[in-house]
Amino acid sequence: MQNLNNKEYAKSIVKQVRRVGDGVVLWLTIALVVISLIFVMFLGKGPADLIFNACVIFGVLGFSLFAVRLYQINYLGNALRVQNGRHSFLRDIANKISRDLDMPQVDVFISQNPFLNAFAIGYIKPYTIVLHSAIVEELTQQEVTSIIAHEMGHIKLKHTWVSAYVNPLAVLVPFLGPVIGWIFGFWGRRAELAADRVAVAYTRNPHTVVSALTKVYVGSKFAEYMGEEGIAFQQKMSHGLMKLMAQSTASHPFLTTRGYEAIRFAQKLGIKV
């Protein structure tokens, strides 16, 4: 990064982490959504029904975007917005990543929750990253940095923007909604892998990224018993059609998939593993 300005560095990160297949799956989902909406709009017997159905669809979409903002305000009212004090390093990490990746600043919140998790919200400024309190309490600072970089990756790659528009329709569109949600899941899991790649490319430390992911999946107390060797072994044990079918019903890729892909991506970047 020393020889690149922020814009050039951000473009290089995005170029490294994007995959053609991500866009193909996304556009397939969007095409199905459009077809579904056209089908729903023409349910009825006359022009009045068409206008009414169109108003309902756009009303649902508008409300869903409004609901995203309400969801963000919920954390502003009920969680700790990181500013100064003991946890100000989290704000500093997020601000540095924002500058390095040439993106807007992001508000970081800590929400009381014993489950290791984090997520990003927002389709326009302000964007929000929520860290469960267990993440801050049980992960090292390097692991937390990788988690924040992952969530910033979702924002930088516009995953949160896509989810804000498509997710509600996948739930509310009659008949084809479940199918849309299932197909959208393929893109969603690819989006998680892309955000993992952002974390690897930014931190240049795939072992920390995998360590953080392992703690999120199996818990900090048991992560040390699994490690990268355990992930690699279970990856080999769980390959094949059954794994693909099982993973297709999950909201996130398997830990074994994410660990394997993170290490493989680091090798492609020339990072010593």
Domain 6-268 belongs to what architecture? 2-Layer Sandwich (3.30)
Q: What is the rounded average pLDDT for all residues in the chain?
A: 88
Lowest mean pLDDT among 109-118, 199-208, 228-237: 228-237
pLDDT at residue 209 is higher than 90: yes
In the chain, where the domains are located:
6-268
Q: Mind listing the pLDDT tens digit for each residue in 222-265?
A: 998 998 889 989 888 877 788 888 888 888 999 999 999 999 99
Model confidence band, residue 45 (pLDDT cutoffs 50, 70, 90): low
Q: In what order do the strands lie in the sheet with 127-132?
A: 80-81, 106-111, 127-132, 118-121
- Per-residue pLDDT at 173: 62
Locate all alpha helices (DSSP H) within the chain, ordered by sequence: 6-17, 20-41, 47-78, 88-100, 133-138, 141-156, 159-172, 177-203, 206-218, 220-237, 241-247, 255-268
Check: CB of residue 234 under 8 Å from CB of residue 256. yes
Peptide bond into 168 cis (omega under 30): no
Percent of the chain with pLDDT strictly greater than 70: 93
Mean pLDDT of the region 139-144: 97
Sign of CA dihedral 115, 258, 177, 20: positive
Locate 240 and state its tokens: 């094949």
User: Quick one: tokens of 58?
Assistant: 């756009």
Rounded mean pLDDT of 107-134? 95
Tokens of 154: 């979702």
